[in-house]
Amino acid sequence: MKHLHRSLPVVCLIACLAAGSVRAEDAPAAAQSDMDEGFSLLEEGAKLLFRGFLNEMGPALDEMQGGIEEAAREMGPALRQLLALVDDVRNYEAPERLPNGDVIIRRRADAPPPPELPQAPAAPADKPAPEGEIEL
Protein backbone atom coordinates (compact mmCIF):
# COMPACT_ATOMS: atom_id res chain seq x y z
CA MET A 1 0.00 0.00 0.00
CA LYS A 2 2.96 2.24 0.74
CA HIS A 3 4.15 2.30 -2.90
CA LEU A 4 0.70 2.45 -4.48
CA HIS A 5 0.89 6.20 -5.05
CA ARG A 6 4.01 5.67 -7.21
CA SER A 7 2.46 3.00 -9.42
CA LEU A 8 -0.95 4.67 -9.77
CA PRO A 9 0.10 6.89 -12.74
CA VAL A 10 1.46 3.83 -14.55
CA VAL A 11 -1.78 1.92 -13.94
CA CYS A 12 -3.81 4.91 -15.20
CA LEU A 13 -1.64 5.17 -18.32
CA ILE A 14 -2.07 1.47 -19.10
CA ALA A 15 -5.83 1.75 -18.56
CA CYS A 16 -6.02 4.75 -20.90
CA LEU A 17 -4.01 2.96 -23.57
CA ALA A 18 -6.17 -0.13 -23.22
CA ALA A 19 -9.33 1.97 -23.42
CA GLY A 20 -8.01 3.70 -26.53
CA SER A 21 -7.43 0.36 -28.22
CA VAL A 22 -11.10 -0.61 -27.83
CA ARG A 23 -12.92 0.04 -31.08
CA ALA A 24 -16.16 2.02 -31.10
CA GLU A 25 -17.97 -0.98 -32.66
CA ASP A 26 -17.00 -3.19 -29.71
CA ALA A 27 -18.56 -0.87 -27.13
CA PRO A 28 -22.25 -1.25 -26.32
CA ALA A 29 -24.51 1.56 -27.55
CA ALA A 30 -25.12 2.93 -24.04
CA ALA A 31 -21.38 3.04 -23.30
CA GLN A 32 -20.71 4.70 -26.66
CA SER A 33 -23.34 7.33 -25.88
CA ASP A 34 -21.78 7.95 -22.47
CA MET A 35 -18.32 8.29 -24.05
CA ASP A 36 -19.63 10.75 -26.65
CA GLU A 37 -21.31 12.77 -23.90
CA GLY A 38 -18.10 12.73 -21.85
CA PHE A 39 -16.01 13.97 -24.76
CA SER A 40 -18.61 16.65 -25.47
CA LEU A 41 -18.47 17.80 -21.83
CA LEU A 42 -14.66 17.84 -21.91
CA GLU A 43 -14.74 19.90 -25.08
CA GLU A 44 -17.18 22.39 -23.53
CA GLY A 45 -15.05 22.62 -20.40
CA ALA A 46 -11.93 23.33 -22.44
CA LYS A 47 -13.77 26.02 -24.41
CA LEU A 48 -14.96 27.68 -21.19
CA LEU A 49 -11.46 27.52 -19.73
CA PHE A 50 -9.90 29.19 -22.76
CA ARG A 51 -12.64 31.82 -22.99
CA GLY A 52 -12.07 32.68 -19.33
CA PHE A 53 -8.33 32.88 -19.93
CA LEU A 54 -8.80 35.20 -22.92
CA ASN A 55 -11.26 37.39 -21.00
CA GLU A 56 -8.76 37.77 -18.15
CA MET A 57 -5.66 38.20 -20.27
CA GLY A 58 -7.23 40.13 -23.18
CA PRO A 59 -6.65 43.65 -21.82
CA ALA A 60 -3.05 42.87 -20.85
CA LEU A 61 -2.38 41.36 -24.30
CA ASP A 62 -3.90 44.42 -26.01
CA GLU A 63 -1.72 46.73 -23.90
CA MET A 64 1.36 44.66 -24.69
CA GLN A 65 0.57 44.76 -28.42
CA GLY A 66 0.26 48.55 -28.28
CA GLY A 67 3.65 48.81 -26.57
CA ILE A 68 5.27 46.58 -29.17
CA GLU A 69 3.78 48.62 -32.02
CA GLU A 70 5.00 51.87 -30.44
CA ALA A 71 8.50 50.45 -29.94
CA ALA A 72 8.55 49.28 -33.57
CA ARG A 73 7.60 52.78 -34.77
CA GLU A 74 10.31 54.40 -32.67
CA MET A 75 13.06 51.86 -33.31
CA GLY A 76 12.19 50.96 -36.91
CA PRO A 77 14.51 53.42 -38.65
CA ALA A 78 17.46 52.56 -36.40
CA LEU A 79 16.91 48.83 -36.91
CA ARG A 80 16.79 49.28 -40.69
CA GLN A 81 20.13 51.13 -40.55
CA LEU A 82 21.63 48.40 -38.37
CA LEU A 83 20.43 45.66 -40.73
CA ALA A 84 21.93 47.54 -43.69
CA LEU A 85 25.31 47.62 -41.90
CA VAL A 86 25.30 44.00 -40.69
CA ASP A 87 24.03 42.28 -43.88
CA ASP A 88 23.89 38.65 -42.59
CA VAL A 89 24.30 37.64 -38.93
CA ARG A 90 25.82 34.31 -39.96
CA ASN A 91 28.88 36.24 -41.22
CA TYR A 92 29.81 37.21 -37.65
CA GLU A 93 31.27 35.45 -34.64
CA ALA A 94 29.53 35.39 -31.26
CA PRO A 95 29.73 38.70 -29.38
CA GLU A 96 32.63 39.11 -26.96
CA ARG A 97 32.51 41.40 -23.92
CA LEU A 98 35.76 43.03 -22.91
CA PRO A 99 36.73 43.70 -19.27
CA ASN A 100 35.85 47.39 -19.70
CA GLY A 101 32.31 46.48 -20.79
CA ASP A 102 32.72 47.06 -24.53
CA VAL A 103 31.12 44.47 -26.77
CA ILE A 104 32.91 43.39 -29.94
CA ILE A 105 31.27 41.45 -32.75
CA ARG A 106 33.94 40.31 -35.20
CA ARG A 107 33.26 39.41 -38.81
CA ARG A 108 34.25 35.82 -39.57
CA ALA A 109 37.44 35.37 -41.60
CA ASP A 110 35.66 33.18 -44.17
CA ALA A 111 32.76 35.63 -44.65
CA PRO A 112 32.32 37.37 -47.99
CA PRO A 113 33.30 41.04 -48.17
CA PRO A 114 30.86 43.35 -46.42
CA PRO A 115 28.44 45.40 -48.52
CA GLU A 116 29.08 49.07 -49.22
CA LEU A 117 28.15 51.37 -46.37
CA PRO A 118 24.94 53.29 -47.03
CA GLN A 119 25.45 56.99 -47.70
CA ALA A 120 24.28 59.28 -44.93
CA PRO A 121 21.64 61.75 -46.05
CA ALA A 122 23.18 65.14 -46.88
CA ALA A 123 22.50 67.99 -44.47
CA PRO A 124 20.16 70.63 -45.87
CA ALA A 125 22.19 73.45 -47.47
CA ASP A 126 20.04 76.19 -45.97
CA LYS A 127 20.75 75.08 -42.39
CA PRO A 128 24.48 75.17 -41.45
CA ALA A 129 25.81 72.92 -38.70
CA PRO A 130 26.05 74.63 -35.29
CA GLU A 131 29.47 75.91 -34.18
CA GLY A 132 31.61 73.43 -32.27
CA GLU A 133 29.64 70.34 -33.33
CA ILE A 134 30.70 67.77 -35.85
CA GLU A 135 28.11 65.85 -37.79
CA LEU A 136 28.97 62.18 -38.15
DSSP codes of every residue in 91-113:
GBPPPEE-TTS-EE-PBPTTSPP
Number of domains comprising the chain: 1
Task: Let me know if residue 7 belongs to a domain.
Answer: no
For 56, the enclosing helix (H) or strand (E) is: helix 29-86
pLDDT tens track for 28-81: 665 667 777 777 888 888 888 888 888 888 888 888 888 888 888 888 888 888
Q: What is the pTM of this model?
A: 0.34
Q: How far is it, in rounded angstroms, from Cα 102 to Cα 93?
A: 15
Task: Let me know if residue 57 belongs to a domain.
Answer: yes
Task: Give the alpha-carbon dihedral of 49, 51, 54, 58, to 10 degrees.
Answer: -150
pLDDT tens track for 91-125: 999 999 999 999 999 999 998 888 777 676 665 55
Task: Let me know if residue 120 belongs to a domain.
Answer: no
pLDDT at 1 over 50: no
| Contact between 98 and 104 (Cβ < 8 Å) | yes
Task: Let me know if residue 93 belongs to a domain.
Answer: yes
Task: Let me know if residue 47 belongs to a domain.
Answer: yes
| Contact between 85 and 105 (Cβ < 8 Å) | no
DSSP 8-class letter at 25: T
Residue 68 sits in which domain range?
Answer: 28-104
